[in-house]
Amino acid sequence: MTLVLHGYRYSVYNRIARLALEEKGLAYRRVEVNPFDPDRPAAYLALHPFGRVPTLVQGDFVLYETGAITRYVDRAFSGPALQPADPKALARMDQIIGVVDSYAYWPLVRQVFAHDVFRPCLGNGGDQQEVAKGLDAAPRVLDALEGLACDEAWLVGRSLSLADLHLGAMIAYFTLSSRGEALLSARRRLASWWRKIGARPSMAATAPGLPVTQA
């Protein structure tokens, strides 16, 4: 049965869901939905009452919320496991995902990336005060993640996990800012980890690019 992922090209959470699908080797169809469009189709609001992204549809099974989607994809389909079996490693994975959602997303993506990279690409200009706020908050969360990351190949051990995909999508945006890249490079574990996750085929396959302003 065909998997259909409704999402917004530039959404980090859409990319996280896509990364999980790619790492599991699953075929899926993409449907573009802009959650910022006030006129979102009624058909989409019937799938997701809050109008956010992503939403996964498999036949008559509809699932929204990124964490629910990625965990379902990992449990329901064959392929490399994306959640560790060890309870402590699993708890660490969940902790890192929680830290990323609660403390990293806003400064790294919505402040630094959005105002230093994305909005200038649209020709709107960025708010440098927002960039400064993000850069001020970023070291604290990066230091916390540096402390949580283990010295193995991936964030919680020797195998790739959902924590790597969750953080990877956000760091991909953050490091498009030269100032963001400099902050990440100063953290040994995170810098080494980013070189590995950034080179994954799944990252290349899900790269959204940047908008181009029409002349």
- Locate the domains of the chain by residue range: 3-76, 87-200
In the CATH hierarchy, which fold is given to the domain comprising 3-76? Glutaredoxin (3.40.30)
Percentage above 70 pLDDT, the chain: 99
What pLDDT digit, counting tens, does each position of 39-88 carry? 889 999 999 999 999 999 999 999 999 999 999 999 999 999 999 999 99
CATH number for the segment(s) 87-200: 1.20.1050.10
Are 3-76 and 87-200 equal in CATH topology?
no
E strand residue ranges, the chain: 3-7, 28-32, 55-58, 61-64
What pLDDT digit, counting tens, does each position of 45-54 carry? 999 999 999 9
